[in-house]
Amino acid sequence: MIPAVFLDRDGVIIENVSTYVRSWVDVRLIPGAIDALIHISQSPYKIVIVTNQSAVGRKIISTAQADRINSRLLDIIRQAGGRIDGLFMCPHAPIDHCDCRKPKPGLILQASQQLDIDLENSLLIGDAISDLLAGQAAGVGQTVLVRTGRGASQEAISHPRNLKPFLVFDDLAQALGTLIRL
């Protein structure tokens, strides 16, 4: 089993969009995110994106549209010299009460099973408390909040009592540069 770096997509790699990422036109890469992924591409960690995309469940975009956006992002990361070992997406709306929508751990557990991941020695980086709760519920050893996306506002709110301590960094580059030594 190999540890992984689990990454949220919106707010960590690309900018959050209040009206949802509906097409590639809506995608804005967060400065430094691709370089950070290139930096860890030679690490022994699996690199896995776990993303809620409720725009699909809300019928704002189709699953095929979401898949095209994700595929293009992966292509850009790989063409730049980065590596992504898996992308797991929850397409459900919050009202669906599925097991894969963060803060539930389903996406992380699915990735762990498919990619033979050592959760205890893995880390999860997200921009929302729901990301951290999902990582914690799945048994991920270290959870990290980045201040990009919704992270700065999430850092300032009252946290659930069951949320274990977590690290905070300004962005993905700072988090990975600090936590993954090559």
Please report the domains of the chain, with CATH numbers, ordered by start residue.
4-179 (3.40.50.1000)
Instruction: Using the predicted structure, report yes or no on whether residue 182 has a pLDDT greater than 80.
Output: no
Name the DSSP class of 93.
Answer: -
**pLDDT over 80 at 135, yes or no:** yes
User: Could you tell me what percent of the chain has a pLDDT over 70?
Assistant: 100
> Which among 146, 129, 171, 142 is positioned nearest to 45, based on CA atoms?
142
First and final C-alpha spacing in the chain = 19
Give me the phi and psi of 167, to 5 degrees please: -90, 155
Radius of gyration of the chain measured on its C-alpha atoms: 15
pLDDT computed for residue 181 by the predictor: 81
- Our answer to whether residue 75 is catalytic in this structure is no
> What single DSSP character describes residue 2?
B
- Provide the mean pLDDT of the chain: 96
Nearest 5°: the CA angle 95, 21, 60 is 45
**Cβ-based neighbours of 120, under 8 Å, separated by 6 or more:** 139, 140, 141
Comparing CA positions, the residue from 37, 27, 8 lying closest to residue 150 is: 8
Which phi and psi angles does 108 have, rounded to 5°?
Answer: -70, -40
pLDDT (average), residues 153-161: 92
User: Helices 33-40 and 63-79 sit at what angle, rounded to 10 degrees?
Assistant: 70
Asked whether the predicted pLDDT for residue 1 surpasses 90, the reply is yes
pLDDT tens digit sequence for 71-109: 999 999 999 999 999 999 999 999 999 999 999 999 999
176: which 2 tokens? 């990975």
Q: What's the pLDDT score for residue 34?
A: 97
| 130, pLDDT greater than 90 | yes
Instruction: Indicate which residue of 8, 127, 131, 171 is catalytic.
Output: 8
- Average pLDDT of span 20-28: 95
Predicted pLDDT at 164:
95
How far apart are the C-alpha atoms of 96 and 70, rounded to whole Å? 22
Is 8 annotated as catalytic?
A: yes
pLDDT value of position 134: 98
pLDDT of residue 35: 96
Mean pLDDT in residue range 158-181: 94
pTM of the model: 0.96
